[in-house]
Amino acid sequence: MTDKSIESILTEQRQFPPGEDFAKAARYKQADLDAMYASAAQDHEAFWAGLARELLDWSTDFTQTLDASAAPNYRWFTDGELNVSANCLDSNLAERGDKTAIVFEGEGGDRRRLSYRELTADVCRFANALKAQGIEAGDRVVIYMPMVPEALIAMQACARIGAVHSVVFGGFSANSLRDRVIDAGARMVITADGGHRGGKIVELKAATDKALEEGCEHVDRVIVLKRADCGCAMQDGRDIWWSDAIAGQADSCEPVPLNAEHPLFLLYTSGSTGKPKGIQQASAGYLLYAKLTNQLIFDIQEDDVFWCTADVGWITGHTYVAYGPLAAGATIVMYEGAPTYPDGGRFWSICQKHGVTIFYTAPTAIRALMKLGDDIPAQYDLSKIRLLGTVGEPINPEAWIWYHEVIGGERCPIVDTWWQTETGGIMISPVPGVTATKPGSCTRPLPGIDADIVDEEGTPVDAPDQGGYLVIKKPWPSMLRTIWGDNDRYIETYWEKFQNRYYVAGDSARRDADGYFWIMGRIDDVLNISGHRLGTMEVESALVAHPRVAEAAVVGRPHEIKGEALFAYVVPKGDRPTGDDAAELAKVLRNWVGEELGPIAKPDDIRFADNLPKTRSGKIMRRLLRIIARGDEITQDVSTLENPAIIDQLRGDA
Ligand code: WT7
């Protein structure tokens, strides 16, 4: 074992092959997948060109598949033309015009259904409204909305006329919105008076007004949807109601044929360091990959009802709500509100009510719902669900097993899907009718995705279970094209580490003896304890496996002798212990981790809290936890915290 390897000491032996019935009915069978791997291995470009022609409707066919002349700024299908919205809507009209495209449920219980025909008409009306407001191809439009159908309609309308949208998650503050509006140089903001979240109204228009107070002179129009009826100021000459903007607009709008590389959207990643990066996606490659992965990973078939719980403010809500499932002709569910409003059964009640067959959510949600107990999901009929998915962070085996048993009734495959905002779509994942799964592993790279694990020098790590850098060695169609306005940062962040040869994901991973990938966390979450590199996720997983632990986050703090010491924040099940009880439980847990993983993984410090600091998207704010673990002054903006009051507990002051 060299000091450059990232050691893995977590071993998970259980395996779950797909059920026979599932495998038989699945879109992609073993033979299909084998053929895809073989074809991609034989000719990477021809593989993607074939899929692009098979899956997409082009207005002009392409003659060049991949342009690598400006690598690592790769370009795909460079001289082809198509329209993304036409591929998501118009392409479905003949076959399934009356099929439900969107089933919407508001937090307050209001419901709507939109057929493909109705959705197309709504998108066209709004696209015409955008044009009437002077929006042209290439203009940037920021969308800051609640999770309602109009958010998706606005995105699709932009795509229809070639405007470049940048959706900003409605949970972000006015300041975050301002940064993104300025960076994108947006001409327009589309928002709502407010949205419903956790029984409260989030006043989006008020936040928009505040955001636009400074430095946003390039925004000359704000379109405002009336959603929450909470009243808001309207600025004369700048603001216009959605209903007024579409009044009198035709319900058809010719989709504009756009170059394959035309930017489809910018999406800012909430980077843990520095200012957010505007990840720029192109049209055709993104659409191709979105459609393909919806079919391949989610096995979308004609009668399915697909619910991906992500907000359209995140990449998951782009690829697996707003674009991919529609391109695949699916019925999707959209839900406006919080997963636990009015109670912890809301997700399951939606699944029951709308007959959800495919359910895709994040481990953080799974753990939160698991913590509420098995009797809640037991009250609902979840028997229609046939496939489950997770994304966003490594899922600890305990949560995986709970998901499998309690939600999936032990009959549903679970697809643990690894990808990133930058990759545009799922990269490493089981194919549900084919791949035997292992709890906690995202299994194998998809056909055409050349993922590998390399060491500090960029040499592939072939020995099983040795960790390293997760890299992608060949370009793929839905890769980010650049960081908006900062191509140097694009190259520096994703390519420079290995001399522009590989895309560097920033995650560490290991591969087991079966070739299965196990994501160990972000590179900067990897600790060096007494010369042993250790993924924090593995320690977290061990902690969560203890019956008294609901959730855990582990960070490093500097340690004189060991280099780094492990600092664990633990959310206990039941009441939070204090004083002697806390010391006693900490000792139990330290020993437990020692037993599970080995003595080097024993946390030096364990602190108990009622919950963990998370961003609005549910990601644990590790940087903040590291600062607290070191006892440093908190200078970072904590305004995006779900629960700012938690800081004192984490510091050990409460
Ligand atoms: C990072 C990307 C892509 C949608 C949501 C997050 C982590 C993502 C997994 C998974 C382990 C995962 C990685 C990745 N991640 N999926 N299945 N197993 N880790 O998008 O905000 O761009 O974050 O999320 O660390 O780099 P994102």
pLDDT of residue 151: 98
Residue 368 is assigned to a structural domain of this protein: no
Rounded to the nearest whole angstrom, what is the distance from the C-alpha of residue 31 to the centroid of ligand 1?
29
CA-428 nearest atom, ligand 1 = 17
Structure tokens at 123: 């998108």
- Residue bearing the CA closest to ligand 1, atom 24: 392
The span from the CA of 149 to the CA of 567, in Å, is 43
440 lines ligand 1 (CB under 6 A): no
336 lines ligand 1 (CB under 6 A): no
Top mutation candidate among 10, 471, 479, 507 for ligand 1, by most atoms within 8 Å of CB: 507
Residue 647 is assigned to a structural domain of this protein: yes
- H or E element: which one contains 566? strand 563-572
CB 551 within 8 A of CB 367: yes
Residue 57 is assigned to a structural domain of this protein: no
Residue 510 is assigned to a structural domain of this protein: no
Rounded to the nearest whole angstrom, what is the distance from the C-alpha of residue 575 to the centroid of ligand 1?
31
Would you call 641 exposed, middle or buried from its count of C-beta atoms within 10 A (0-12, 13-18, 19+)? Answer: middle
The span from the CA of 168 to the CA of 175, in Å, is 12
Rounded to the nearest whole angstrom, what is the distance from the C-alpha of residue 316 to the centroid of ligand 1?
10
437 lines ligand 1 (CB under 6 A): no
CA-362 nearest atom, ligand 1 = 5
CA-417 nearest atom, ligand 1 = 17
CA dihedral 409, 412, 416, 419 (to 10 degrees): -130
pLDDT of residue 3: 37
CATH code for the domain in which residue 632 is found: 3.30.300.30
The span from the CA of 305 to the CA of 122, in Å, is 21
Rounded to the nearest whole angstrom, what is the distance from the C-alpha of residue 634 to the centroid of ligand 1?
26
CA-419 nearest atom, ligand 1 = 3
Residue 593 is assigned to a structural domain of this protein: yes
What distance lies between CA 431 and its chain's CA centroid? 18
The whole model's pTM is what?
0.87
CB 394 within 8 A of CB 519: yes
- Residue bearing the CA closest to ligand 1, atom 14: 420
269 lines ligand 1 (CB under 6 A): yes
- Residue bearing the CA closest to ligand 1, atom 19: 393
CA-619 nearest atom, ligand 1 = 21
What distance lies between CA 623 and its chain's CA centroid? 20
pLDDT of residue 393: 83
The span from the CA of 375 to the CA of 380, in Å, is 9
**Mean pLDDT per 10-residue interval, the chain, length 654 residues:** 45 86 98 98 98 98 98 98 98 98 98 98 98 98 98 98 96 85 98 96 96 96 98 97 98 98 91 70 98 98 98 96 98 96 97 98 89 96 98 88 97 97 97 97 98 96 94 98 96 95 94 94 72 74 92 88 86 92 96 81 92 82 90 79 80 78
Top mutation candidate among 360, 393, 479, 538 for ligand 1, by most atoms within 8 Å of CB: 393
Nearest by Cα to 177 from 224, 223, 211, 140 = 211
Q: What is the largest CA-CA distance in the chain?
A: 73
Q: In this structure, how many other beta carbons lie within 10 angstroms of the beta carbon of residue 353? A: 14
419 lines ligand 1 (CB under 6 A): yes
Residue 550 is assigned to a structural domain of this protein: yes
525 lines ligand 1 (CB under 6 A): no
Rounded to the nearest whole angstrom, what is the distance from the C-alpha of residue 538 to the centroid of ligand 1?
16
What's the domain count of the chain? 1
**DSSP state, residue 498:** G
425 lines ligand 1 (CB under 6 A): no
Rounded to the nearest whole angstrom, what is the distance from the C-alpha of residue 174 to the centroid of ligand 1?
26
Residue 562 is assigned to a structural domain of this protein: yes
Residue 535 is assigned to a structural domain of this protein: yes
Residue 610 domain boundaries? 530-651
Query: What DSSP string describes 284-295?
Result: HHHHHHHHHHHH
Rounded to the nearest whole angstrom, what is the distance from the C-alpha of residue 193 to the centroid of ligand 1?
32
Rounded to the nearest whole angstrom, what is the distance from the C-alpha of residue 518 to the centroid of ligand 1?
12
Rounded to the nearest whole angstrom, what is the distance from the C-alpha of residue 480 to the centroid of ligand 1?
15
505 lines ligand 1 (CB under 6 A): yes
pLDDT of residue 292: 98
522 lines ligand 1 (CB under 6 A): yes
